Structure 1
Amino acid sequence: MLIENVVLMYAEKTATGYTAEVELETADGLGFGGSIEFDKDWNYKLGFLNTWVNTDEDRYFVHEVLSSDDFKNDVMSFIPS
C-alpha cells in the first residue's frame, strides 16, 4: 500500500510537545487516521499508524513530510498564541 499523502486534521500542544491528528491516504484511495505524538524537539512516534507505514518507501515519505518545516508550521497554526 503506497502512501502518497499526509493530511493534518488537527493539532494541540501537550505537556511534552504536540499531538497531531492526521489522515494517511494511499495511492489506491484508502485513507486511515490516527494521532502522532511529537516531543518538544519534533521527534515523533507514529503509534497505531506504524501498522500502516510498513514499507521503506512509506517510512521515507512519511518521515519527509513529518520532519518538514511546512508540516511543523501547520501544526503550530493550530496552537493559540
Structure 2
Amino acid sequence: MTVMTDSEIFNNIRNALDAAARNQYTAELHLQMIKYADNLKHITSKEFCEGVGLRKSFGTEFSKMRNLTLRLKNAGLDVTKI
C-alpha cells in the first residue's frame, strides 16, 4: 500500500469535488473526508480546510466526519471502496 502525502490527499479531494455534480458537492465532500480520515488524523480542521481550499466553516464538518468514521468502520465500512 502506497503512503500518500497530505498534499496528494488534498489534491485528490479537490479533484473529486471538482468532478462532483453541483447538487452532490457536500455529499462528495463528506465521502472524501471519511475516505481519508485515517490518513489525516494528525491535522487540524483548519489545516484541512486550508489544504483543500475550503472555507473555515467546513472545519466542523471535517471533525464530524472524522469522528463518524470509526463508527462506520466498526459497522463494516471498507473505506477503500469509497
What band does the TM-score fall into relative to the shorter chain? 0.3 to 0.5
Q: So what's the TM-score if we normalise by structure 2?
A: 0.33
If asked which structure has higher relative contact order (CA below 8 Å, sep 6+), I would say 2
* TM-score under structure 1 length normalisation: 0.33
